[in-house]
Amino acid sequence: MFELRKIGFVRRASAFLLDVILLAVLTTGFMYLISLIAGFSHQEALANEYYTAWEDYRKEYMGDIAPFYGFEYTEDEDGGYTLTNKEDEKAAEIIEVIEAMTDDKPSEEEGDDPKLVAAYKAYLELANGVKDENGNVVKKAIPAALVDAQYRYVYSLIFMMLSIGLLLAYLVLEFILPLILKNGQTVGKKVFSIGLVRPNCVKITNLALFARTMVGKFAFETMFPVLLIFMFFFGGLGILAIILLAALLLLNIILFFATKNRTPIHDLLAGTVAVDLKLQMIYYSEDELNEAKSLLHAEAVENSKS
């Protein structure tokens, strides 16, 4: 009567899988709406436009100017390239060649190689843009720094869309909907007759459900790993991000299988337990629980006397 009726692993895993699928679908929908509001397609197109302009410049001129300034440049069959500083035989960046050329400022008046002069003029047009006699922009400026800045902006938009999309999806599926269905039930939990209670079989509070959803599931178990993945690819955190990600996953697995009530991080933070609603007795308050215990004790005393 006062015991927790736990559910089997298969039912719990099935409910979890269904909820994850719904979460992914809803997150994708919210991300699409946010992308429309933020103009993501336009910003991505700009990033690709800037990148293409500099790639075209590299392919047309780099083979001519790199050797002149002490660099070895080789194009790969797949469209990539290798650039090496001949002086120290270390890998170099295109910007280093550009800086050497801009310091030199090749010109026809100085009698420089026509290929270098053409490359320098093309660079000035690319970096500064071209205007007609009336000051109208004929070709817009695309400085080298603008390419990286635009891609960083696109990546920040992706992170923002993912963060807000996940936040809204969690609020709907893991907080608002369980408030309607009662007993902390998501769609997956409803299908498989699973609910949430406190460890003493008392109904969970709205505050506990909110903490479980927003602190445990969203912030700790979802956004922290998402941030680690972004830091691995774009933030330079490297292997440390993978180690932290693996440690978090391992911690959740250990907590689930080692704790008495199979309590992962989000349930541990909220003080909740997943139970079988077909068998579980749920008390709506501490007073109701204490009253039930008192009645049971009184019955036991009465039976012992008889």
How far is the C-alpha of 2 from the C-alpha of 282, rounded, in Å? 9
C-alpha separations of 166 from 32, 44, 213, 231, 264 in Å: 12, 21, 11, 18, 20
How far is the C-alpha of 170 from the C-alpha of 58, rounded, in Å? 46
Give the model confidence (pLDDT) of 181-210 as tens digits.
999 999 999 999 999 999 999 999 999 999
**Where on the phi/psi map is residue 121: left (φ > 0), alpha (ψ -120 to 50), or beta?**
alpha
| pLDDT exceeds 70 at position 128 | yes
At residue 42, what is the residue type?
H
pLDDT at 78: 82
How far is the C-alpha of 50 from the C-alpha of 58, rounded, in Å? 13
Which range has the worst mean pLDDT, 15-19, 104-108, 284-288?
284-288
Q: Is 135 strand, coil or helix?
A: coil
Report the relative pairing of strands 137-139 and 81-85 from DSSP bridges: unpaired
Confidence bin at 27 (pLDDT 50/70/90): very high
| pLDDT exceeds 70 at position 115 | yes
Give the model confidence (pLDDT) of 135-156 as tens digits.
787 888 999 889 999 999 999 9
pLDDT at 114: 93
How far is the C-alpha of 298 from the C-alpha of 106, rounded, in Å? 101
Give the model confidence (pLDDT) of 239-275 as tens digits.
898 999 999 999 999 998 899 888 999 999 999 999 9
